[in-house]
């Protein structure tokens, strides 16, 4: 059956490491999607955005939402600051895409889109009040309150949990992101290996620690490596401190995690759960659900698509 073009939109999820994009129908089905490495310069990023939109059949789509890492300015025009995505910072990506495609374009924060994606099609469906935390290159956040996305920065990753802690990419010390992101986990492994710590990770990457990835750390932890298990457990415990603070502030029904670090869920989850039980107020934590995304990395593109459909309805 031929769809009319109002039935398809494009959602783009631009993270610090990968760009994911999908053409999505009104019932939340993904008709085509792609994943690319995030470019490091603004011209390359713009080129990739256009190629992405073209390859997802621009002629059939009727709106685009670009969900980007970083703080999106209140007017939704540019990414005002992004420690993990320098190519986007200060770029008027909304007008660039509008001019290049002649389609209506929304620009939003990536974790906000992921929260909406979970509410629409994922683990957030049963809840009207939940927090979404993305664990990837950075740590992002989104809040669904009374069934709707809260229009707040929700930069949970840059909540300091220790002002004397490690330096974060944002320039401050002890941010949650400096403990619990994939980047932080890799940085710590590299540091410990440099300090002559014994670990099976030494046997990989031809002895070049700088090729270690978060996936190598999870896989080695699964093989029983003590250093990798300790790093992931510590990341989970620090994450739990941040989550307990958020539970005390937002009193959510659920906290949902998404992002590349979910591969280490079995090491991280017990630590998060334990810290939340100890540190959050008991009436707020006793019925709390701590869940993982059900959308296998598609939360951001689906949430972005959901926003694009909302925009079309509002424009009608
Ligand atoms: Zn920070």
Are 288 and 275 in contact by the 8 Å Cβ rule? The answer is no
**Does residue 105 belong to any structural domain of this protein?**
yes
Q: How far is the CA of 286 from the centre of ligand 1 (A)?
A: 30
Mean pLDDT of 15-34: 94
Q: How far is the CA of 249 from the centre of ligand 1 (A)?
A: 20
* pLDDT at residue 83 greater than cutoff 90: no
Asked whether residue 182 falls in the same domain as residue 131, the answer is: yes
Mean pLDDT of 75-95: 85
Asked whether residue 191 falls in the same domain as residue 265, the answer is: yes
**Does residue 13 belong to any structural domain of this protein?**
yes
Asked whether residue 92 falls in the same domain as residue 158, the answer is: no
Asked whether residue 287 falls in the same domain as residue 140, the answer is: yes
Q: How far is the CA of 103 from the centre of ligand 1 (A)?
A: 34
Classified as helix, coil or strand, 75 is: coil
Are 166 and 184 in contact by the 8 Å Cβ rule? The answer is yes
Q: How far is the CA of 245 from the centre of ligand 1 (A)?
A: 16
Q: How far is the CA of 157 from the centre of ligand 1 (A)?
A: 6
DSSP-H helix ranges across the chain: 42-55, 93-101, 110-121, 177-180, 182-194, 214-222, 226-250, 265-279, 282-285, 299-315
Q: How far is the CA of 117 from the centre of ligand 1 (A)?
A: 25
Asked whether residue 109 falls in the same domain as residue 135, the answer is: no
| CATH code of the domain containing 102 | 3.30.420.40
Calculate the CA 196 to chain-centre distance: 33
Q: How far is the CA of 234 from the centre of ligand 1 (A)?
A: 18
Q: How far is the CA of 155 from the centre of ligand 1 (A)?
A: 9
Asked whether residue 227 falls in the same domain as residue 163, the answer is: yes
Q: How far is the CA of 3 from the centre of ligand 1 (A)?
A: 44
* Residue 3 confidence class, pLDDT cut points 50, 70, 90: very low
**Does residue 122 belong to any structural domain of this protein?**
no
Asked whether residue 72 falls in the same domain as residue 162, the answer is: no
Q: Which residues contact 308 (CB under 8 A, 6 or more apart)?
A: 9, 10, 11, 63, 64, 65, 104, 106
Mean pLDDT of 223-237: 97
Domain ranges, residue 140 = 127-292
Q: How far apart are CA 195 and CA 9, in angstroms?
A: 50
What's the pLDDT score for residue 166? 92
**Does residue 163 belong to any structural domain of this protein?**
yes
Q: How far apart are CA 177 and CA 135, in angstroms?
A: 9
Q: How far is the CA of 181 from the centre of ligand 1 (A)?
A: 11
Mean pLDDT of 227-249: 97
Asked whether residue 144 falls in the same domain as residue 272, the answer is: yes
Asked whether residue 100 falls in the same domain as residue 21, the answer is: yes
Asked whether residue 232 falls in the same domain as residue 311, the answer is: no
Q: How far is the CA of 71 from the centre of ligand 1 (A)?
A: 12
Q: How far is the CA of 283 from the centre of ligand 1 (A)?
A: 30
**Does residue 121 belong to any structural domain of this protein?**
no
Asked whether residue 302 falls in the same domain as residue 248, the answer is: no
Structural domains counted in the chain: 2
Per-residue pLDDT reduced to its tens digit, 118-157:
999 999 999 999 999 999 989 999 999 999 999 999 999 9
Q: How far is the CA of 58 from the centre of ligand 1 (A)?
A: 36
Asked whether residue 11 falls in the same domain as residue 160, the answer is: no
Q: How far is the CA of 45 from the centre of ligand 1 (A)?
A: 23
């Amino acid at each position: 059956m031929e769809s009319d073009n109002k039935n398809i939109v494009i959602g783009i999820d631009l993270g610090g490491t990968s760009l994911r994009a999908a053409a999505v129908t009104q019932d939340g089905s993904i008709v085509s999607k792609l994943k690319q490495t995030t470019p490091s310069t603004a011209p390359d990023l713009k080129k990739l955005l256009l190629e992405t939109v073209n390859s997802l059949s621009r002629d059939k789509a009727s709106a685009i939402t670009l969900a980007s890492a970083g703080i999106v300015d209140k007017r939704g025009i540019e990414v005002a600051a992004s420690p993990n995505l320098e190519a986007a910072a200060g770029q008027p990506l909304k007008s660039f895409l509008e001019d290049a495609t002649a389609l209506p374009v929304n620009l939003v924060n990536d974790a906000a889109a992921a929260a909406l994606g979970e509410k629409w099609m994922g683990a957030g469906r049963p809840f009207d009040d939940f927090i979404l935390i993305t664990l990837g290159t950075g740590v992002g956040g989104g809040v669904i309150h009374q069934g709707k996305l809260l229009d707040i920065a929700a930069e949970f990753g840059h909540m300091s949990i220790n002002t004397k802690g490690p330096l974060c990419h944002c320039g401050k010390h002890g941010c949650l992101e400096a403990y619990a992101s994939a980047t932080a986990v890799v940085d710590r492994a590299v540091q410990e290996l440099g300090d002559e710590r014994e670990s099976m990770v030494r046997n990989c990457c031809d002895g070049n620690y700088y090729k270690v990835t978060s996936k190598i750390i999870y896989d080695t932890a699964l093989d029983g490596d003590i250093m990798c298990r300790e790093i992931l457990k510590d990341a989970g415990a620090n994450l739990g401190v941040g989550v307990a603070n958020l539970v005390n502030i937002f009193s959510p029904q659920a906290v949902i995690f998404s992002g590349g670090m979910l591969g280490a869920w079995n090491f991280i989850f017990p630590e998060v759960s334990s810290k939340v039980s100890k540190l959050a107020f008991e009436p707020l934590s006793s019925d709390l659900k701590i869940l993982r995304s059900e959308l296998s990395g598609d939360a951001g593109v689906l949430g972005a698509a959901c926003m694009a459909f909302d925009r079309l309805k509002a424009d009608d």
